[in-house]
Amino acid sequence: MKVLLYVFSIALLIVGCGESPYDSTKSTESSKFIDLDDPEALDKIIAEAIDKDTLQLRGKEGEELHYAPNEQTPYTGWVKTMWGDGQVKTLVQKKDGKKDGLATSWHKNRQKKFSGNFKDGKRVGLAFGWYDNGQKGAEGNYKNGKEDGLWTEWYENGQKSSEWNFKDGKEDGLCTEWFDNGQKFVEENYKDGKLDGLMIGYNKDGTGGYRRTYKDGVRVED
């Protein structure tokens, strides 16, 4: 299932764990006003961002917040990590010590890799992933830190590879996958994260493959 979505989710989580964007003396603004594709705006943010490795994690286990060195109030602003050649690798906004705002990362060749948003430490709203050739690889929505609604993946050649429906972080509804030649691979139905209903598999040449039926994640006799 959705290998790219898994990699994407992990990458966004890593990006948000103290890596990316702004000056602690400045409050974060709504990410919709931030254009990281504008070289001038991007350079300004990178210059003002604090380096991830300088942040300090303080507080009770499970309630930790990030602080800038020698500061007594939780950090608000941008945090960054950089590639070895000095190019930006990740930028993330924080507010009151938590991820809050835009989170973005780049491939080594400067192509954008991931982009999403956080609110009070949880992933929210639309999120996107790209291959290093600039081709979109994944797009989906988060609600309160969990996948919610339609998630779509593409192969590096631009062909759609999968469509998954989520509810509260679990697969729910029709999910479809395709071969890289555009032929349908499988259609399956989920309910509350478990296979439930008819699954239809196809061969790469488009001919019929198999049909199976599931109930509560368990295959039943056809």
- The angle subtended at Cα 65 by Cα 60 and Cα 69, nearest 5°, is 115
pLDDT tens readout for residues 56-85: 999 999 999 999 999 999 999 999 999 999
Angle, vertex CA 137, rays to CA 131 and CA 142, nearest 5: 125
Based on the domain organization, do 157 and 119 belong to the same domain? Answer: no
For 113-166, what is each residue's pLDDT tens digit? 999 999 999 999 999 999 999 999 999 999 999 999 999 999 999 999 999 999
Residues 15 and 116 in one domain: yes
Kindly calculate the radius of gyration of the chain based on its CA atoms and give it in whole angstroms. Answer: 20
Number of domains in the chain: 2
Question: What pLDDT digit, counting tens, does each position of 212-221 carry?
Answer: 999 999 999 7
How high is the pLDDT of residue 25?
A: 36
Q: Is residue 178 part of a domain?
A: yes
Instruction: Kindly state whether residues 152 and 198 are assigned to the same domain.
Output: yes
Do 160 and 128 belong to one domain?
no
Nearest-angstrom CA–CA distance, 61 and 48: 30
Nearest residue to 82 (alpha-carbon basis) of 47, 133, 56 = 47
Q: What is the mean predicted confidence (pLDDT) over 18-24?
A: 32
What pLDDT is recorded for position 4?
56
Q: Which of 111, 134, 157 is the last residue of a domain?
A: 134
Same domain, 215 and 130: no
Query: Taking the model in full, what pTM does it have?
Result: 0.83
Q: Answer yes or no: do 129 and 207 share one domain.
A: no
90: which 2 tokens?
């990740």
Pair 110, 151 in one domain: no
Q: What is the mean pLDDT of residues 201-211?
A: 90
The domain of 151 spans 145-222
| Structural domain contains residue 140 | no
pLDDT at 16 over 90: no
Are 81 and 169 in the same domain?
no
For residue 17, which of 61, 53, 59 has the smallest C-alpha distance? 53
Q: What is the pLDDT of residues 79-110, one digit of tens each?
A: 999 999 999 999 999 999 999 999 999 999 99
Indicate the range of 11-25, 33-47, 118-132, 135-149 predicted with least confidence.
Answer: 11-25
Which residue has better confidence, 4 or 102? 102
Q: Are strands 197-202 and 218-220 parallel, antiparallel or unpaired?
A: unpaired
Under the banding of pLDDT at 50, 70 and 90, the label for residue 13 is: low
157 in the same domain as 128: no
Q: Tell me: do 193 and 161 sit in the same domain.
A: yes
